[in-house]
Amino acid sequence: MAIHALTMLARWDDRTLTSAEIAESLSSNPVLVRRILGNLRDADLVWSTEGRGGGWSLVRRPREITLLDAYAAVEQGPVLSRHPHSPNESCEVGRHMRGVLETEFLDAERAMEQRLAATTIADLVQQVLIAERSRGTA
């Protein structure tokens, strides 16, 4: 959803887009868009101008923004579910499970993040344009 917004900003990077315009494409509402883009702004991915005629634009070029950047800015909790509470310390397995699992899970999450970092917003724009062109000729 953050990626959708970034892709739109990259597709029309000659002008700024308003929250309402982006919300329109997401079939959502402007406040939600501002919330998400607010996170992206804190991560220095986008930029906003207030007042009439204001809106959002990218800070870096689309080629320099990866899906991981967007993901890291928005997502907070870990992907793989940990224990809701500490296991029993008096059990031989329970004592060490937390640490062992943490290592494995972090590794797995790293693997996913590396894959996300391999794709940029520019790549997505490219794919959208290609799909759009083939739609026109269909």
Selected binder of DNA within 5, 6, 8, 37 (CB under 7 A): 37
* Contact letters for a copy of itself, residues 22-61 (x by CB under 8 A): --xxxx----------------------------------
Which position among 76, 77, 92, 138 is part of the footprint of a copy of itself (CB under 8 A)?
Answer: 92
What residues contact 100, with CB distance under 8 A and at least 6 apart? none
Q: Is 66 helix (H, G, I), strand (E, B) or coil?
A: strand
Closer of 71 and 123 to DNA (Cβ): 71
- With contacts defined by CB under 8 A, how many residues of the chain interact with a copy of itself? 48
Which is it for the CA torsion 34, 40, 45, 49, positive or negative?
A: positive
Neighbours of 54 (CB within 10 A): 11
Out of 77, 85, 137, 138, name the contact with a copy of itself by CB under 8 A: 85
Helix H segments across the chain? 2-11, 19-26, 30-42, 67-74, 92-117, 121-137
- The item of a copy of itself, DNA, none sharing an interface with residue 38, based on CB under 5 to 8 Å by kind, is DNA
| Closer to DNA by Cβ: residue 32 or 128 | 32
Query: Shortest Cβ distance from residue 122 to a copy of itself (Å)?
Result: 13
Tokens of 5: 């917004």
| Greatest pairwise CA separation for the chain in angstroms | 68
